[in-house]
Amino acid sequence: MAAMKRQWWKEGVVYQIYPRSFQDTTGNGIGDLNGITKRLDYIKSLGVDIIWLCPIYQSPNDDNGYDISDYKSIMAEFGTMTEFDALLSGMKSRGLKLVMDLVANHTSDEHFWFQESRKSRDNKYRDYYHWWPAEKGTPPKRWSYFDVDGNAWKYDKLTDAYYLHYFSVKQPDLKWENPKVREEIYDAIRFWFDKGVDGFRMDVIPFISKDIEYPELPKKYKGNFVSYYSEGPRLHEFLHEMNQQVLSKYDIMTVGEAPGITLDKALDFVNEDRQELNMFFHFDLMSLDRDGDEVFWMRQDKWRLTEFKKIHSDWDKAFAEKGWGSMYLSNHDFPRSVSRWANDSPEHWHNSATMLHTFLLTMKGTPYFYFGDEIGMTNARFNSIEDYKDINTINRYELLKQNNISLVDFLENEKEAARDNARTPMQWDNSKNAGFTAEDPWIKVNTNFASGINVETQENDSASVLSYFKKMVQVRKSHLGLVYGKYDLLLANNEEIYAYTRTFESEKYLILLSFSEKETTVEVNEISYNKALLLISNDKVKAEQSNTRFKLKPYQALVYELT
Ligand code: NOJ
């Protein structure tokens, strides 16, 4: 089975860093490369293997680096290329791998290519971007994520034409249909691989191919632009070409960010025989607590554990024979995992955070942890629009204001939904600004750093969330069956406990996770075994078990080896 073929990126644990919020060493309130270098021993101590860095390239920061103005240089606020080289060699000497972020669906409007492209209709770079000449009338509607008016076409007076931007007006979409554009991107990828970088996370990669006739949105999409954007006509041709011309020449990993990709399409991206990508992030879980197609609005009723289980069980099945999954509960675009998927009240916070660690580390698929989740960082839940820095929140606030829609409801929504919840600075210790910066941080620090949610306090406590995280990483690393073993769901209809087994050759594990704030007893009689040896528990009460009956404390996580 291809899915069983051993690979370093299947066995590794990934740690994602949002550089702006990790560690400032210059006093400008913004995290930097030297800050990451300074913290490499800490990262190594977690037991993780791979660091994914959100974009660190030159950028005017309209979307915090997801708007690149030069693919081959470093953002001045973050440091220099020499500092990057030092960071990379610091990682290598510790046996850590580096995955960078490739943002190639769009550039910044300040990129040289776009500056040229917009100058005249016959400019050499004109065809690097998507243009619609105004004499053809208003272009067919395209929806934009961050535009204040939700319109993805922006009129540019200079050449009397509209350019396409699926994200902000300062993020024009590249025209991959032009072979020169693809060559430029492959060249940028090679530049970083030749430096020794170990892979790329690829931003909104399913969006790169467009129908360049720009038709009206076909009816079958029922108004859903994300689905339409994610299945452009030449998508798989481009991915395969990139694989053949660049990716396959190096021992690297790729993980696509894949909004819009549904189960039935999963293998088209990661089936080894097709030679495209290694893994991708699906969005089914990220939509679970949202209101239908309204990705930014929370749904009114609470999501159910049976829905959560179904999403993971279905995706596991998609990769059972071929391909490989990626497991994540949070990143820089979504709220903090403990606040979102469990319970961050003081009473349940510890078990909640560690139960979620246990989940990611006992599932099949490479686990991705977002910085700060290892110490159980929580949503910031800002009260005022002034505290938000994210273009997404700010522009939507403006849009609602113009349309006289309740801003009170919106601000309440953002307390749970906003991306800035996950972008507050890393909480290192009890000192000013949690040890992130000596000066004013670019975004407010969550005040709970002073109540134990910081690295220093937790490093000195063997029962802390951080200590558990490290132990649990070792449990995964020392049991290959937790990486490659077959996943089988138990107690499918139970709304309190998520239970499953992992089976690999003669190894078998039972995982029980409570998503309930009450003590819960379950009978696990769908499987048979002689003994259940407890490998780890996140609660002070290790476990209460008699035969097939298990009693779990609120948010308790138990991992057993079965014989
Ligand atoms: C997805 C990235 O993760 C997000 O942060 C960004 O705003 C958009 N893509 C646009 O690049």
pLDDT for position 547: 85
Q: Is the CB of 204 inside a 6 Å radius of any atom of ligand 1?
A: yes
Q: Is the CB of 66 inside a 6 Å radius of any atom of ligand 1?
A: yes
3-state helix, strand, coil in the chain (%, to 5): 35, 20, 45
| Residue 559 predicted with pLDDT over 80 | yes
Distance from residue 342's CA to the centre of ligand 1 (Å): 25
Q: Which two tokens stand for residue 530?
A: 């002689």
**Is position 257 annotated as part of the catalytic site?**
yes
Mutation choice for ligand 1 from 18, 52, 63, CB with most ligand atoms inside 8 A: 63
Chain CA centroid to CA 384, Å: 26
The helix (run of H) or strand (run of E) holding residue 116 is: helix 112-117
Q: State whether residue 180 is helix, strand or coil.
A: helix
Q: How far apart are CA 534 and CA 562, in angstroms?
A: 9
Q: Is the CB of 109 inside a 6 Å radius of any atom of ligand 1?
A: no
Mutation choice for ligand 1 from 165, 204, 331, 370, CB with most ligand atoms inside 8 A: 204
Q: Which two tokens stand for residue 271?
A: 């089936």
Q: Is the CB of 420 inside a 6 Å radius of any atom of ligand 1?
A: no
CATH number of 10-107+179-472: 3.20.20.80
Closest atom, ligand 1, to C-alpha of 419? 5
**114 contacts: CB under 8 Å, gap ≥ 6:** 107, 108, 125, 128, 129, 172
Helix 391-402 to helix 407-417 angle (10° resolution) is 160
Question: Phi and psi dihedrals of 257, rounded to 5?
Answer: -90, 125
Handedness of CA 445, 446, 449, 451 (dihedral sign): positive
Mean pLDDT of 314-326: 97
Domain with CATH 3.90.400.10 in the chain: 112-164
| Residue 491 predicted with pLDDT over 90 | yes
CATH number of 112-164: 3.90.400.10
**Is position 127 annotated as part of the catalytic site?**
no
Question: Phi and psi dihedrals of 359, rounded to 5?
Answer: -60, -55
pLDDT tens-digit profile of 195-223? 999 999 999 999 999 999 999 999 999 99
H-type alpha helices, 264-390? 266-270, 284-288, 305-318, 337-341, 349-362
DSSP 370: E
pLDDT for position 9: 98
Mutation choice for ligand 1 from 103, 109, 370, CB with most ligand atoms inside 8 A: 103
Given a contact cutoff of 8 angstroms between Cβ atoms, the answer to whether 174 and 129 are in contact is yes
Give the model's confidence band at 292: pLDDT under 50 very low, under 70 low, under 90 confident, else very high.
confident
Question: Model-level pTM?
Answer: 0.98
Q: Which two tokens stand for residue 380?
A: 């910031």
Distance from residue 203's CA to the centre of ligand 1 (Å): 6
Q: Which two tokens stand for residue 268?
A: 């088209």
Least confident range of 280-294, 335-349, 489-503: 280-294
Smallest CA separation from ligand 1 atom 5, residue: 333
Give the model's confidence band at 439: pLDDT under 50 very low, under 70 low, under 90 confident, else very high.
very high
The helix (run of H) or strand (run of E) holding residue 501 is: strand 497-504
| Residue 1 predicted with pLDDT over 70 | no
Q: Is the CB of 434 inside a 6 Å radius of any atom of ligand 1?
A: no
Query: How many residues make up the chain in this entry?
Result: 563
**95 contacts: CB under 8 Å, gap ≥ 6:** 44, 49
Closest atom, ligand 1, to C-alpha of 105? 11
Q: Is the CB of 49 inside a 6 Å radius of any atom of ligand 1?
A: no
Q: What is the largest CA-CA distance in the chain?
A: 78
Q: How far apart are CA 203 and CA 102, in angstroms?
A: 6
pLDDT for position 359: 99
Give the model's confidence band at 20: pLDDT under 50 very low, under 70 low, under 90 confident, else very high.
very high
Mean pLDDT of 297-306: 96
DSSP 13: -
Q: Is the CB of 257 inside a 6 Å radius of any atom of ligand 1?
A: yes
pLDDT for position 2: 62
Q: How far apart are CA 32 and CA 387, in angstroms?
A: 21
| Residue 4 predicted with pLDDT over 80 | no
Distance from residue 293's CA to the centre of ligand 1 (Å): 18
Q: How far apart are CA 79 and CA 73, in angstroms?
A: 10
Q: How far apart are CA 342 and CA 336, in angstroms?
A: 10
CATH architecture of the domain formed by 486-562: Sandwich (2.60)
Smallest CA separation from ligand 1 atom 11, residue: 66
pLDDT tens-digit profile of 358-398? 999 999 999 999 999 999 999 999 999 999 999 999 999 99
Q: Of 67, 257, 374, 414, which is the active-site residue?
A: 257
Question: Phi and psi dihedrals of 6, rounded to 5?
Answer: -65, 135
| Residue 3 predicted with pLDDT over 70 | no
Q: Which two tokens stand for residue 551?
A: 């009693």
Give percent of the chain with pLDDT exceeding 70: 99
Q: How far apart are CA 42 and CA 408, in angstroms?
A: 40
Domain with CATH 2.60.40.1180 in the chain: 486-562
Give the model's confidence band at 296: pLDDT under 50 very low, under 70 low, under 90 confident, else very high.
confident
